[in-house]
Amino acid sequence: MSIHYEWINKSIQGRAKCSPDEAWTAMSIAFLSLDRSRTEREQVSYLLEYGTLNVKKQLQREYTPDGERKFQYGYDWDSVEEPSDHADDAFLDFFKEGAEREFALAIAEGEATFTHGSASHWLRTHKNINKRTACKQLLDGVRDSALLLLFRRRYEQGKV
C-alpha cells in the first residue's frame, strides 16, 4: 500500500474549501513535520488533519473575520513616498543624541535592523555594552522617537 497524495489533496480541498494549489502548499508544509516511522494510515491522517489546519491558518493570516483581505500584494505607486535623502538628516533631530540617534541612523542606512538581536549586536560592537536592559531601552527609545516622527510627518501632510 502506498500513500495517494492526489486523494489527500482532494480531501484537503473538500475540508478546507480551497484551491488545489492551496491544498498542495498546505500538505507540503504538513509533510515537513511528518513522522515517516509511523504507519501509512497514521501518516495519511496526519497529512489530512494538519494540511487542512495549514490552509485555515493561511486564510486567517490573509483575511479578517469579515472576509476583507488584510494585506494588499500590489503597490499603489502614487502613494509611495520617495526615500529620504540622508544628506539632510533632518529626521535625526527627533532622536535623542547618543546611542539612540546613532542606532536610528544605522537602521536608516541598512546597517542594522529594528530587532533585539541587531540592537544587542550593535551595542556590543559600537558601544561595548552587553546588557539586556540597555538593549531594551535603546529599542524603546528609537520606537518612541520614530512614532513621534511618523505622527509629525502625517500631521504636516494633513493626514491626521
Pair 26, 52: CB distance under 8 Å: yes
Instruction: Identify the pLDDT of residue 8.
Output: 94
Full-model pTM: 0.45
Please report whether residue 70 resides in a domain: no
Distance separating alpha carbons of residues 108 and 89, to the nearest angstrom: 10
Residue 13 pLDDT more than 70? Answer: yes
Please report whether residue 82 resides in a domain: no
Please report whether residue 129 resides in a domain: yes
Please report whether residue 67 resides in a domain: no
Please report whether residue 150 resides in a domain: yes
Mean of pLDDT values over 136-152: 86
Pair 35, 25: CB distance under 8 Å: no
How many CB atoms lie under 10 A from the CB of residue 138? 23
- Same-domain pairing of 57 and 99: no
- Same-domain pairing of 46 and 94: no
The number of folded domains in the chain is 2
Chain Cα centroid distance, residue 150: 20
Instruction: Identify the pLDDT of residue 39.
Output: 93
- Same-domain pairing of 46 and 95: no
Q: Which CA distances in Å does 29 have to 8, 22, 32, 34, 44?
A: 13, 11, 5, 9, 14
Phi and psi dihedrals of 69, rounded to 5? -75, 130
Handedness of CA 27, 32, 35, 37 (dihedral sign): positive
Domain end, chosen from 62, 82, 102, is at 62
Tell me the sheet residues that pair with 69: 63
Please report whether residue 134 resides in a domain: yes
Task: Give the domain range for residue 152.
Answer: 90-157
Please report whether residue 40 resides in a domain: yes
For residue 18, give the amino acid letter.
Answer: C
Q: Which residue has the higher pLDDT, 7 or 93?
A: 7
Conformation bin of residue 68: beta by default, left when phi > 0, alpha when psi is -120 to 50: beta
